[in-house]
Every structure is written in structure tokens, then in C-alpha cells.
């Protein structure tokens, strides 16, 4: 039985298109060029920040976020950045009586921004707030703790087969892989995908799948 569902944030709940465009503009790089380099970095299995270092070798995320804030161009997101299927999916899972949470690798400002969206969730956790980032086991220990303590009753939903699905299953959770965003389309790990409880193309599919799974388990 699934009793709790946790979602990755960037790419899964949030559409990062505007964020990537803003970073390209900040770096003074054509948006198409930035996107192409970003995709190449993902395809090579490199850390995503290497895309930024291609254009600014000394790039440090925390420092750049401070510079952006000081320049009046802070990184931010709002309702317009939610994927169109996110809010309804979260609400439908809550209506099934499940604990619903967000847990992703996000910088310091993100937790307050997520809370301001007033999403139908019980838990909001970030790598900055927890002091540990995916795919480290400690991150998923925090998910398990927030989800009630039994990993076998928790489903983790994300767009990355490595940082999300594989790491969650290693921690004893079930995983759902959603195919969207750059990682969802570029990273191909069939052995991981085959072990996922669900593979979906839209969050619209998830509530019915969870309900059917739990019905069988009763």
C-alpha cells in the first residue's frame, strides 16, 4: 500500500523553462546555445553546473544567486512556473487520504517560494533546508522520516532515473519516473526504468494509478 507520495520539484512539479531562459540572459548567452550546452552536459552524465561553467569557468551557484539578487534580478518562481498538471495531481492524491510532500534539490530561496504557492501538500523539504542533497542516502532518509518512517509505503516521483528513481529505490521506496524536462528525455537507464512501479508522461495519470495499486493491496 502507498501511504505517502513525495515529488521532486524542478522538472517534475516546476517547469524550468523560464528559469533556464533567465540564466541564459544573465550569463549573456543566446538561449538556444545555453539549452544546447545544457543538453550536452546531461547527455555526458556531468554535473548540471558544468553547463554554466562552460560560459563562466568560475561559476558558483550561491555566489551567482547573491549577485543576481543584488542586481535586482533574483531567481524566483511562481504559479506561472508550475506544470499545468501539478496542482490537480497533488489535490487528487490528498483526496485519497495520502500524505503528499515535495522534496527536491533546491537553493535557499525555494522553500519560501514553494510555501507561497499554497500547494495541497503536507511536507516541503529542500536540500538546502535539510543540509543534504540528492542522490545522497541522507536525503532519502529525510524523505522516509517525513513520510512516516516506512520506506515501503512511500512513492517518490521524479524526472531523473539516477538522482530520483534509482536513489529512491535504493532507499527502499517505490519510484515513479515521469518523462519530461531535459533529464527525462535525455537520460536513458532502462534497467532503472523497468524497476519503477510507474512510468508516466503526465502527472494527470498518477492519481488513478495509485488508487488502482492501493485497491489491489487491500
* Residue range 4-15+79-217, CATH number: 3.40.50.1000
Percent of the chain with pLDDT over 90: 78
Instruction: 53-62: list long-range contacts, CB under 8 Å, 24+ apart.
Output: 55/27, 55/28, 55/29, 56/27, 61/107, 62/107
pTM metric for this prediction: 0.91
Q: What is the mean pLDDT of the chain?
A: 93
Q: Which residues pair with 82 in a beta bridge?
A: 14
pLDDT tens-place string over residues 52-71: 999 999 999 889 989 999 99
Label the pairing between strands 198-200 and 174-178.
parallel
pLDDT tens-place string over residues 108-137: 788 889 999 999 999 999 999 999 999 999
Structural domain boundaries in the chain = 4-15+79-217, 17-70
Percent of the chain with pLDDT over 70: 100
Q: How confident is the model at residue 184 (pLDDT cuts 50, 70, 90)?
A: confident
Q: Average pLDDT for residues 148-176, to the nearest whole number?
A: 96
Q: Nearest-5° angle of CA 161, CA 11, CA 177?
A: 35
Residue 97 pLDDT exceeds 80: yes
Judged by DSSP in three states, 74 sits in coil
pLDDT for the residue 87: 97
CA distance 55 to 28: 9
Most confident of 20-24, 45-49, 69-73, 98-102: 98-102
Q: Average pLDDT for residues 141-154, to the nearest whole number?
A: 96
Q: How far is CA 63 from CA 25, 35, 53, 72, 76, in A?
A: 17, 22, 13, 14, 16
Three-state SS letters, 95-153? HCCCEEEEEECCCCCHHHHHHHCCCCCCEEEEHHHHCCCCCCHHHHHHHHHHCCCCHHH
Q: Cis bond leading into 135, ω under 30°?
A: yes
CA distance 181 to 27: 21
Residue 182 pLDDT exceeds 90: no
Q: How confident is the model at residue 217 (pLDDT cuts 50, 70, 90)?
A: low
Other C-beta atoms closer than 10 Å to the C-beta of 188 total 9
Question: In sequence order, what DSSP letters do the residues of 41-66 get, joined into one string?
Answer: HHHTT--THHHHHHH-TT--HHHHHH
Q: At what angle do helices 17-27 and 31-43 cross, to 10 degrees?
A: 110
Contact 203, 178 (CB under 8 A): yes
Judged by DSSP in three states, 10 sits in strand
Amino acid at each position: 500500500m502507498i501511504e505517502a507520495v513525495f515529488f521532486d520539484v524542478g522538472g517534475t512539479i516546476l517547469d524550468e523553462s523560464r528559469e533556464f531562459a533567465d540564466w541564459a540572459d544573465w550569463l549573456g548567452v543566446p538561449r538556444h546555445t545555453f539549452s544546447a550546452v545544457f543538453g550536452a552536459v546531461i547527455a555526458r552524465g556531468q554535473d548540471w553546473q558544468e553547463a554554466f561553467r562552460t560560459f563562466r569557468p568560475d561559476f558558483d551557484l550561491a555566489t551567482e544567486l547573491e549577485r543576481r539578487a543584488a542586481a535586482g534580478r533574483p531567481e524566483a518562481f511562481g504559479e506561472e512556473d508550475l506544470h499545468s498538471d501539478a496542482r490537480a495531481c497533488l489535490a487528487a492524491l490528498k483526496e485519497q487520504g495520502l500524505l503528499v510532500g515535495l522534496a527536491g534539490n533546491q537553493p535557499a530561496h525555494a522553500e519560501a517560494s514553494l510555501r507561497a504557492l499554497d500547494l495541497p501538500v503536507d511536507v516541503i523539504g529542500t536540500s538546502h533546508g535539510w543540509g543534504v542533497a540528492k542522490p545522497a542516502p541522507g536525503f532519502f532518509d529525510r524523505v522516509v522520516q517525513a513520510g512516516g518512517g516506512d520506506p515501503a509505503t512511500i512513492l517518490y516521483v521524479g524526472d531523473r532515473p539516477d538522482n530520483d528513481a534509482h536513489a529512491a529505490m535504493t532507499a527502499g521506496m517505490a519510484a515513479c519516473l515521469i518523462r519530461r524536462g531535459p533529464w527525462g528525455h535525455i537520460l536513458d537507464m532502462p534497467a532503472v526504468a523497468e524497476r519503477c512501479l510507474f512510468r508516466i508522461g503526465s502527472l494527470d495519470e498518477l492519481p488513478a494509478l495509485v488508487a488502482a495499486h492501493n485497491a489491489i493491496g487491500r
